[in-house]
Structure 1
Amino acid sequence: MRIFPILAAIALAALLYMAILERPTLLALFGVGTEETAQTDTEEPVVAPTVAEKRVKVVVERLNAQNIDSAVVLRGQTAAARQVDVRAQTSAIVISEPLRKGAQIETGQIMCRLDEGTRRADLDQARAQLAEAQSRVPESEARVQEAKARLEEAQINQNASSRLNEGGFASTTRLASSDAAAATAQAGVSSAQSGLSAAQSGIEAAQAAVAGAQTELDRLVIKAPFNGMLESDTAELGSLLQPGALCGTIIQLDPIKLVGFVPETQVNLVEVGAMAGARLAAGGGEVRGKVTFISRSADPQTRTFLTEIEVPNPALKIRDGQTAEILIASQGANAHLVPQSALTLNDEGTLGMRLVDDNNIVDFREVQIIRDTTKGIWVTGLPAQANVIVVGQEYVVEGVEVVPTFREVTQ
């Protein structure tokens, strides 16, 4: 049996016991505890930080309000004032040469002419039927007059027979015969008037047939509804057009529209009739016009409002669909130019800025953004002179006292 490993294990266990459970005694044995106690006695007590040292330090800029032109800036595009697809209303073969796209079109100019076929003959037939119907009216009127004369004669005979019968000079048979003759005459008048009504109805039917045939004939000539420019070739010679088939597309570029979408935060700044300008992309130059329309219903996806501006375009240099940067004038406003990073939200989620008053107490003010620039953003809702916290605003809340450091700013 080996004794040395057992003795080594006992010694190691005793050393660990002294190092862990009897550590103070061991330190005192070597004099370490006495030195630490002495050092502890000589150290000064830790002093708690004062209230002033607990205040947060922030960076503040003193900003003054300025009167600016609160113009609304939009990104939009140009759009034709009117665009229409001119289509056929009847079925026929095109017999006119096509007009090529890009051509100028005047109001009433023929764009497509279609083959008449038998439509001219149908119109002549309808006119002949109208003339025949009209010729029947005088005959029907004469029959009515003749029937009325017979009725009048029968009524006279009836009256005479009735008086003679009352005096005993005429028989009852004669009186009945007179009554029958009067009734027959009355029926003749009704029949004649019915014939006259039928003749007049025949005239109206014939007139409707003439109008229908004339309209069908007029549909063979497709004309431009307004001045403009052809955006596509008209129908080719010899092609068959069915009802609804495209003859050609016309767009009107003078005047032209600028179309943009105003955010709901700025829609109240835009009014119909306000002056507006735009810078067109790709060297299109600058143009001016007036606001003609502001939508009352917001787009459900973007929550923006459609706005249209009418711009003169006599030379047709502005094309449909060009990108434009639009500037709409509105009434001036007192605003502050502040760093965008100074914006923050309060506990209710309201957008605003944190200020410092004369007593270095933090205050929160709600703001409205007027315009975004490269130097900062213009906002309203602040006092005329505002001490805005630009660094550290996220670490303080309304009502606490801070240590402000003012930074010079140039507006």
Structure 2
Amino acid sequence: MNKSVKIAIAIFVVILVWFAGRSLLRGSISTQKESVAMTTEKPVPEAVTIQASSKLHPIRVEAKGRTAPDKTVTVKAGTTGTVISTPVSEGRFVEKGTLLCGLDVESRAARLKEAEANRDAARVDYEAAEQLAEKGLGPKNRVTATQASLNAAEAAVNAARVELSKTQIRAPFDGIFETRLAEAGDFLSPGQACGELVDMSPVIVAVQVSEEHAGKLTTGMDARVRLASGAEYPAKLRYVSRSANDSTRTFRVEAAMETGETPVPAGITAQLFVPIGEVEATRISPGLLTLNDSGEMGLRYIQADNTVGFAPVTIIDESPQGAWVTGLPKTTQLISLGQDYLAEGVKVKPVPKGGAQP
């Protein structure tokens, strides 16, 4: 074999080895790319879910206010006089007509006796004139004059009795003598106060309701009242104002509580709840509520294609067991963990709360 042939064979072998190396290198690069692609592909995230269903739930108007007496009256003197007796202690229940403050009668009793004596004398004159006129021994105009005198005397007696009765300041209705404003020895003029009387039967709850809800309320509607102590009582609306407060644009509403024999003081904080209908609602944990990019409050849930959806909701009621909201499908899977980190439209793998099922 000559030298030329050996050189040609060597060149051929080199070229063959070069092409073989290129092929192996390309295969290795392709394999690496596929491996990188496989390692960079993101897994489908899991979403812990809970099943939620809606049902009919009552809608109610809720407002805060205070308890108050049915009536409050400041009992005042109708005449002048010195207080000589205060027989009723503060906080005591009194019936209508009970003496609260007694004034010195001074000369009023004597004036009454004088008026009664003048009346009796006028009656004698009248009867005598009438008998004489019947016998024709006296003029008839004498009868008319004595009749007028008798009428005037009777009027004077009535006036004296009224003046004497004003010395006894009495309760105008059944209630609690809340505050004594005059003590024995005080001198009262007409219009000055003896004390304050309150009627706590029934106890009233007075609240202010927004204009949005005022039009839905009418007198006679059933309600419930919850006191600051947690005690609850049935109630009934007795007054709904149709004129808004100029400064707050709210309407005054009063409800009469049915407390039975339980004493409820006035002036304590109370919540009034008035049912106004029913609506389909879902009870959820308030911790599931979140905001979307537009700032709307709502809940994230799993759609039929296992993607994340967002439902704006409205809270219609709250209780120790959770919040009642509207705006969700009748039956849905709510995302209970990580809802703040899952965007809408992202595909997820639902996992029931408590762990994946086999």
User: Normalising by structure 2, what TM-score?
Assistant: 0.63
Q: Distance in 2 between matches of 1:200 and 1:329?
A: 68
* SS of corresponding position for 2:143: helix
Q: How does 1:171-320 map to 2 (within 5 A)?
A: 192-233=139-180, 235-281=182-228, 283=229, 285-315=231-261, 317-320=263-266
- Residue 105 of structure 1 is aligned with which of 72, 83, 94? 94
What amino acid sits opposite 1:278 in the alignment?
V
How far apart, CA to CA, are the structure 2 residues paired with 1:96 and 1:133? Answer: 37
- Percent identity over paired residues: 29
Deviation at 1:372, TM superposition (A): 5.7
**Offset, 1:260:** 1.0
- Residue 76, structure 1, aligned to residue 65, structure 2: yes
Aligned to 2:301: none
Residues 407 and 287 (structure 1), Cα distance of their counterparts in 2 relative to 1, 3 Å cut: farther
Give the C-alpha shift of residue 303 in structure 1.
Answer: 2.1
Scaled by the length of structure 1, what TM-score is found? 0.55
Letter in 2 for 1:128: A
1:67 to 23, 40, 56: 56
Which residue identity lines up with residue 267 of structure 2 in the other structure? G
Query: Does residue 371 of the first structure (1) align with residue 319 of the second (2)?
Result: no
Q: Does 1:332 align with 2:278?
A: yes
Counterpart-to-counterpart distance in 2, 1:218 and 1:234:
20
> Aligned-pair distance for 1:64?
9.4
* SS of structure 1 residue aligned to 2:200: strand
1:197/1:263 Cα in 2 relative to 1: closer, same or farther (>3 Å)?
A: same
Specify which structure has the higher proportion of helix.
Answer: 1
- Asked if the contact 1:126–1:206 (Cα under 8 Å) also holds between the matched residues in 2, the reply is yes
DSSP 3-state at the match of 1:235: coil
How far 1:320 moved relative to its partner?
Answer: 0.7
Distance 1:144 1:204 in 2: 19
1:129 is aligned to 2:118: yes
- CA radius of gyration, larger in: 1
**Cα 1:244–1:82, aligned 2, differ >3 Å: closer, same or farther?**
same
1:224-266 deviation line (CA, Å, top 9, x unaligned): 1222222213521122111111111111223201111222211
Change (3 A) 1:249 1:407: farther
Shift of 1:200: 1.8
Summarize deviations over 1:261-301 as a string: whole Å, max 9, x none: 222211233232222112211x2522222112212222222
- Return closer, same or farther for 1:303/1:90 CA change in 2, 3 Å cut-off: same
2:98 & 2:207 partners in 1: Cα distance? Answer: 33
Higher strand fraction: Structure 1 or Structure 2? 2
Gaps of at least 5 residues in structure 2 are 1-51, 295-313, 331-343, 349-358
**Unaligned ranges ≥5, structure 1:** 1-62, 150-187, 345-368, 386-403
Distance 1:92 1:219 in 2: 10
* 8 Å CA contact 2:87, 2:99 repeated in 1: no
Distance 2:112 2:347 in 1: 91
Shift of 1:122: 0.5
Q: Deviations over 1:192-226 (max 9, x none)?
A: 44332222221221111101101111111111122
Task: Quote how far apart the aligned CAs of 1:383 are.
Answer: 12
CA distance in 1, matches of 2:130, 2:238: 61
- Distance in structure 1 (CA, Å) of the matches to 2:246 and 2:236: 26
Displacement of 1:315 in angstroms is 4.3
Separation of aligned partners in 1, 2:148 and 2:209: 60
In the comparison of the two structures, how many residue pairs are matched? 265
Change in CA separation of 1:372 and 1:142 when aligned onto 2, cut-off 3 Å:
same
